[in-house]
Amino acid sequence: MSKKYISTSTTLVLAAFTAVALNLTASADESKLPPAATKANVTFATDIKPIFDVACVKCHGDEKPKAGLKLTSLEATLKGTKEGKVVEPGNSAKSSLVLSVAYIGEEDHWMPPKNNKAKIAPLTKEQVGLVRAWVDQGAK
């Protein structure tokens, strides 16, 4: 066997193992999510905005929104941050907003942050489930 063949094979095997490991990590994180609420026709205006008004807009309001993320309207929420979208309509388990409010992933991204100055409590499992349902139903 040539040295080039061994090197290519080793690279392919390592790439495959890395892909599997990343997929398992994502699945493990998703398994920590509370289930989506069973409520049908969840909308931003009726169901999600009241949650965000209490738990999020102090830092993600219209004035000086942290990370450029405004959670004051459907349009602003779907726009996301200066780095990109935080909601993937139809896929709550892959939406960084959902993972952040569920306290999954890097602690630096948990929202609201633990021990925040405003003493805003984390979202309840029911609230996270409602946010998940909203995203899964198309984030309308």
Q: Where are the domains of the chain?
A: 1-31, 35-136
Residue 31 — pLDDT band, cuts 50, 70, 90?
A: confident
Is-above-0.85 flag for pTM? no
34, 42, 92 from 37: Cα distances, Å? 9, 9, 12
Hey, is 108 helix, strand or coil? helix
pLDDT in tens, 87-111: 999 999 999 999 999 999 999 999 9
- Comparing 72-76, 117-121, 130-134, 136-140, the range with the smallest average pLDDT is 117-121
Average pLDDT over residues 111-121: 93
| Contact between 118 and 58 (Cβ < 8 Å) | yes
Judge whether residue 80 has pLDDT over 80.
yes
Instruction: Give me the pLDDT at residue 30, please.
Output: 74
